[in-house]
Amino acid sequence: MEDLFADSRLRKLPKGQIVIYEGDSVDHLYYIVNGFIKVYNILSNGSERTIFIYGPDDLFPFTSYLSGSGVARYFYESIAETEVYSISPKRLEQKVRGNFEIGEALIQYSNSVSQQFIQRIDILSVNDARRKIIALLAFLATKTGNDGDISTLSIPLTTQDIANMCGLTRETVSIQLARLRRAGIVSGGRSLVIDTVKLNKLKPALAIHT
């Protein structure tokens, strides 16, 4: 997919830049070279709910662009210094037209992202705090961690960040993280270190499919 953006402009986004606002019509599509973009909405009480995180080799907001409305359903914000290629939908259409292989790659990619989105939204709707946090850590280890049994997350996270990502209070997150630390599943400071082997053993019993 990177080839689609080969002649596109490379943009550097500082940490904390909102690239797309909820309700914006999609006038650019982005490919992440490095860095991370969080996808979130704002609840009626003003709190933020992180739905998803895009990382290197991800394309956004592709699902919004190809949905019937063509309007962004969430906010998209860089959570680290991020480099992206951007392309206009018109240019993308020119590149995809007649190219069945690229079309297939896009279908398979968007299908996989949609499933991850659904899993995240499903987890956000459950009431079990432990399940929410374990599912989030598994998701973060996949998206932002290094490969291997012991995964260090690339994004520094505060307890409040994790609370926002799970829809929990900071206090609840602190209690659950302390338990996971005692079990040797989580260690480290703001850059969390996760023992993915131990974490994965917990997933089936909690019906987590991330």
Partner 1 sequence: MILVMKENFSNSRDTFRLGRSKVETFINPAGFIEQWFSGPQKPESLIHGVEQLVKKAKKINARSEAVLILVDASSVPKIDGTGQMAQARKVAVKAMKSAPYNKIAVYGNLAVQIMVNTLALVAGRRDKVKVFADRTDALRWLKSRK
Q: Does 191 bind partner 1 (CB under 8 A)?
A: no
Q: Which pair of tokens denotes residue 148? A: 């291997």
Rounded Cα distance between 63 and 144, Å, is 21
Site for partner 1 in 84-123 (CB under 8 A): 92-93, 96-100, 102-104, 106-108, 110-112, 114
Rounded Cα distance between 78 and 56, Å, is 12
Place of tokens 């290629």: 85
- Nearer to partner 1 among residue 102 and residue 124 (C-beta): 102
Q: Does 25 bind partner 1 (CB under 8 A)?
A: no
- Nearer to partner 1 among residue 118 and residue 178 (C-beta): 118
CB neighbours of 139 closer than 8 A, spacing ≥ 6? 53, 116, 119, 120, 210
Q: Does 71 bind partner 1 (CB under 8 A)?
A: no
Rounded Cα distance between 56 and 34, Å, is 5
Rounded Cα distance between 35 and 13, Å, is 9
Q: Does 72 bind partner 1 (CB under 8 A)?
A: no
Stretch of 2-10, 66-74, 163-171, 181-189 lying at the interface with partner 1 (CB under 8 A): 66-74
Q: Does 39 bind partner 1 (CB under 8 A)?
A: no
Q: Does 47 bind partner 1 (CB under 8 A)?
A: no
Q: Other CB atoms closer than 10 Å to residue 149's CB: what's the count? A: 11
* Residue 134 vs residues 64, 107, 180: alpha-carbon distances, Å: 28, 29, 9
**Which positions from 132 to 171 touch partner 1 by CB under 8 A, shown as an x/- string?**
----------------------------------------
Q: Nearest distance from residue 104's CB to partner 1, in Å?
A: 6
> Phi, psi (5° rounding) for residue 51?
-95, -40
Residues found near partner 1 in the complex (CB under 8 A): 63, 66-69, 92-93, 96-100, 102-104, 106-108, 110-112, 114
